[in-house]
Amino acid sequence: MKIKALIVEDEILSREFLSNMVREHCPQLELAGTASNVDEAIQQIETLSPQLVFLDIEMQTGTGFDVLQRTAGRQFHVIFTTAFDHYAIKAIKFSAVDYLLKPIAFDELQQAVDKAIRQMESASGDNRLDLLLKNITRPSGDDFCISLSTSEGVDFVPLSTIIRLEAKGPYTIFFLKDGRQIMVSRNLKEYENSLQEYGFFRIHNSNIINLKDVKRWVKTDGGYAIMSDGAMVAISPKKKEDFMMLMTRRTV
């Protein structure tokens, strides 16, 4: 059976463009309907019970987050569409909810749909949309939670509880303040840019650290940082100057 999809987009040309792309490039989907504003989107969700919603973030009548808040309790997957790469995108990334930047490329659309279908077929349910709505309303990035998918399920982890990240081949291990270690099947590079502006620093090819959890840094023996969990993390020679500058700013 095909997956029932709904497109929510307030610009008619964008709505028609995405509708045509879904029909031509996503044979797994049945396009059940479209909506052009927040109220219409809510009505269509309640009437059609779509399994997948392509949801515009910025609309003249409100936002895609308004739609989610007013349909809380309904079960469907979301792929956001937006022309803006700003704060909301950060919250979306941390919540592991997929999004497409306009203009939408057909290969990115197919990848997002394939990912959504895999999530639907997964035996372990999750609360990505609940996490997203919490992240959107948080006053600071330090209060963000990040979604970490493992073979056992999905963990929602506040950024402030992460001490460091360590590469292990194609995987990444998160070391948390409560002593837990969470391994995810994504490489370290995928987290570097999104975490950097929230006080994390890639100190070495194999390590990203939370600068707030550096208890001491040692200049001898090539240089290393001692973290709050006692770990001694080597400082790459290429990163030493930037690290020292960041730590100096922290002590001012």
How many alpha carbons fall within 13 Å on the CB side of residue 33?
A: 15
Instruction: Give the pLDDT score at 251.
Output: 57
β-strands 29-35, 3-8 pairing: parallel
Instruction: Give the pLDDT score at 231.
Output: 96
- Percent of the chain scoring above 70 in pLDDT: 94
Mean per-residue pLDDT, 28-48: 97
pLDDT of residue 238 exceeding 50:
yes
Mean per-residue pLDDT, 101-112: 93
Mean pLDDT (the chain, rounded): 89
Most confident range (mean pLDDT) of 110-124, 185-199, 220-234 is 220-234
225, containing H or E segment? strand 224-227
Judge contact between 1 and 48, C-beta under 8 A: no
Residue with tokens 């919603």: 53
The pair phi, psi for residue 41, each rounded to 5°, is -60, -45
Instruction: Give the pLDDT score at 242.
Output: 93
Instruction: Give the pLDDT score at 252.
Output: 47
Other CB atoms within 10 A of residue 150 CB: 13
Instruction: Give the pLDDT score at 26.
Output: 96
β-strands 77-82, 52-56 pairing: parallel
Name the DSSP class of 159: G
In whole angstroms, give the CA distance from residue 79 to residue 147: 16
Per-residue pLDDT tens over the stretch 56-92: 999 999 999 999 999 988 889 999 998 876 757 777 8
Residue with tokens 């059940």: 32
Per-residue pLDDT tens over the stretch 120-142: 887 545 678 888 888 887 655 55
Instruction: Give the pLDDT score at 140.
Output: 58
Work out the burial of residue 236: count CB atoms within 10 Å of its CB; fewer than 13 is exposed, 13-18 middle, 19 or more buried: middle
Mean per-residue pLDDT, 163-168: 97
Per-residue pLDDT tens over the stretch 187-214: 999 899 889 888 999 999 999 999 999 9
37-41, 91-95, 138-142, 183-187: least confident range: 138-142
